[in-house]
Amino acid sequence: MELEPIALIIRPITPADAKAWETLRCDLWPEEPESHAVEIAAFFEKKLEEPIAVLVAENKAGTIVGFAELSIRFDIPSFEQERVGYIEGLYVIPSARGRGITGELLRAVRRWAHEQKCEALASDRAERVVIDRRFHPKQISP
């Protein structure tokens, strides 16, 4: 059962969001929690290869309830040597799930990939690359 959608702002991450991003990263990837702060600092110093962009979903109270980490890859099957927007990680806090946040993040990710002149959008699931078949490089969706 889907819950009532909540008002969101989807925006690029800022250094002021570092602690919230670290907390959510630890929830998504709990294996090496000590590595997240180092990677986040490197991201803001532009010393990290990926992600190259991070979008956050912020509710009207100003709380970050989700994020998407993004990169551009050139090694995706069927798109070798092509720019492919790649979702490195996507997470929504459990208490906010079922309210349309993932869909909003994915729409923003598609816009980002179009802006980056990508030919496709992909991610992985269970070690398998999944290509977004609805992504059309010549058409930007609202």
- At 36-95, the pLDDT tens digits run 999 999 999 999 999 999 999 999 999 999 999 999 999 888 888 889 999 999 999 999
Secondary structure (3-state) at 139: coil
Q: Total domain count for the chain?
A: 1
Query: pTM (2 decimals)?
Result: 0.88
Domain-located, residue 142: no
pLDDT digits (tens, 9 = 90+) for 86-124: 999 999 999 999 989 999 999 999 999 999 999 999 998
User: Among 48, 136, 124, 126, which residue's Cα sits nearest to residue 86?
Assistant: 124
CATH at 101: 3.40.630.30
Question: Among the residues of the chain, which ranges form H helices?
Answer: 18-28, 33-44, 101-115
Report the alpha-carbon distance of residue 121 to residue 35 in Å, rounded: 27
Domain-located, residue 71: yes
